[in-house]
Structures are given as C-alpha cells and as structure tokens.
Amino acid sequence: MPFPVTRLRRLRQSAALRALVRETELSAHHLVQPLFVREGARVRRPIRSMPGQFQLSVDELLKEAERTAAAGVPAVILFGIPDHKDTKASGAYAVNGIVPKAIRALKQRLPELLVIADVCLCEYMSHGHCGIVRKISKIRGATGGFRVDNDATLKLLAKAALVYADAGADIIAPSDMMDGRVAAIRAALDARGFVQMPIMSYAAKFASAFYGPFREAAESAPQFGDRKTYQMDYANAEEALREVALDIEEGADIVMIKPGLAYLDVIRRVKERFHHPVAVYNVSGEYAMIKAASEQGWLDEKAVVLEMMTAFRRAGADIILTYWARDAARWLRE
Ligand code: PBG
C-alpha cells in the first residue's frame, strides 16, 4: 500500500516507538579496547596522532585496563613496543617480552577481563615488516628488491602465539596476513594442549592508508617498501571472501575485517556467506579523523562515534575493536 495508507513516519514519532522497532542494538558487550604497552614504569606517553591514546608501561596499563573493565568493556587487545628490534623479531616470542609480561600482570589483577594477544612481527622487526625479509636481485615485476618470506615467518608466528598462550592470553589474534598462519598457529597450540584457545584472525586485512597513526603508536612503520605483497588490495571484495574461507578452513573461530568504515560491504558479505562471528577493526586513521574534526568543533564526537559503531553492527559485525571502546561504553550507559 503506497502513501497515504503507508506512512513510515508513524513509527518515528517518539523515542519509545523508535526504540521499539530498532533493528540493531549496540552494547558494550561487543567492544574491544586496543592498548599499547612498552617497557618502563610510570610511562604514559601520549600518541600525537591519536589524541587520548597512550603508550603505557605495565603499571599504567593495569590502571587503564581497570578503568576500561569498570566501564563495562569485556576485552582488551595488546600491542607491544619493545626496547629492542632486530631482523628476526626476537621480542615477539621472548618469554619475558613486553606482551607476555603485560598479559601475566593483567590476568593476575583482572582475571575476568579478556586479554587478546595480537600476533604480528612488525613491531619487533628493525625493518618494520610483518615477516622475515629476504633480499632479492631483480625478479620481473617485483618491486623494492625484497620479499617477505611467508613460510619461514609462520614458525615465528606460531612461536609467538605459544608464548602468549602460556602467559595466559584468552584469544590469539594473528594480524600479519601470511598465508597459512591460522593453520600453523592452530597446530602449534593444539600440540601444546591449548585446544580451547580461540583464534580471531585478521582474515581480510587490507593494505590501507588508514593505519598511518597506528604505525606511529606502535613504532612499526616499514623502513622500506610497503605491505602490498601481503596485505590485501583494497579494490578486492571477492578475494576477501576467499581469505575468510581459507582462515575458517584452517580453524579461525572469529574472522576480522580491517579497516572498518570503508569496508562495510565486505563485513556484510562475510556475515551473509559464512555465518561466523565477525569482528571489525575501527582503525587508527578512522579514530584520528573524527578526533581531529571533533577538536575543531566540526563534528559531535559522541554522536558520530555511536552512529559509526551502530553502522558496524548493522553491517554484520559482532565484535568491534575500537579506540573508543571505553568512552563508548560510558556513553551507552548515560
Ligand atoms: C600490525 C597491525 C597494524 C594494525 C593492527 N595490527 C598495522 C599495520 O598493519 O601496519 C593497525 C591498527 C590501526 O591502524 O588502528 N600488523
């Protein structure tokens, strides 16, 4: 029945009516707070391009995590900034590396808070790439004179995952985009008895300019070349479905799409195709641009953030990793 019998404005007349028919719920249960941890004590170093975010020493991380948990956020994901970087990313799988230290401290102080361990080598590599780098002479079409060695990298990723599992991580989250890493990590975990450890894979991670501020935050910018030979071409959605399918076959329990805002179509297609828990990473560049506009008074930060979070949920995301997790949890209760 067309107008005037049908009038869609009827159900928009009051807040109560609108809430009654609202299709998408946003709650703190779905939020994950990323935190950056570094060596030292009483360190709370602001990240210039991410106002309100800090590199924290473990003691400060505990305070931050306490406030995050108190706001109602169920999970944090950790990124480590080691004191020392080399060409085999030793810091990523050192038993006393910064991330395992932080995990142990968090699980002791806040046993209920879920601790997600991001598994990647870029923060620990002197060159900033996510895997072992080999020099190559001139291969046709190859750029930059180097190659990231996929299969050699898998062993290090599996080693790192085991160290984080041993330290008490609740979820292992590989973000490197090497082929076969979910299978390698699953096998390593199972062989050591961690058969119950969930894997949340960054399944479709695009080579994105929106990661700029994170690379400052994690001090992980590649020193030469770029990540386009391992992260995905942002023009491709069919390929994203293949990435997700492979990760699920290899044993991923949760699949992530990253970045978020410019990739809502991918989230929707993944949700419809796979019926798996889907996570989205609301990345540093998305944070930086809204922060910058809000500081100018050009956008209403809270309104924009809640709208964006709801859009992620509407697109099909179950889990949202966002630098606003703590603030959003608070706003949702107000
Ligand atoms: C590490 C990693 C990155 C992000 C999360 N894990 C950066 C990258 O791939 O360069 C980006 C997060 C963000 O931008 O907020 N591989």
Atom of ligand 1 nearest to the CA of 231: 9
Tell me: the pLDDT tens digits for 151-180? 999 999 999 999 999 999 999 999 999 999
What is the pTM assigned to this prediction?
A: 0.96
Asked if residue 184 belongs to a domain, the reply is: yes
CATH of the domain at 280: 3.20.20.70
Residues whose CB falls within 8 Å of the CB of residue 7, separated by 6 or more in sequence, listed in order? none
Q: What SS3 class is residue 3? A: coil
Asked if residue 14 belongs to a domain, the reply is: no
Q: What SS3 class is residue 111? A: coil
State which residues form the domain around 35.
24-333
Atom of ligand 1 nearest to the CA of 220: 10
Mean pLDDT taken over the chain = 96
Residue nearest to atom 5 of ligand 1 (CA): 175
Asked if residue 6 belongs to a domain, the reply is: no
**pLDDT higher than threshold 80 for residue 237:** yes
Which position among 85, 159, 258, 291 bears the catalytic label?
258
Which position among 101, 205, 271, 291 bears the catalytic label?
205
Q: In the annotation, is 258 catalytic?
A: yes
Asked if residue 306 belongs to a domain, the reply is: yes
Asked if residue 87 belongs to a domain, the reply is: yes
Tell me: the pLDDT tens digits for 93-129? 999 999 999 999 999 999 999 999 999 999 999 999 9
Residue 286 CB–ligand 1 contact under 6 Å: no
Give the chain's domain count.
1
Q: Where is 204: in which H helix or E strand?
A: strand 200-205
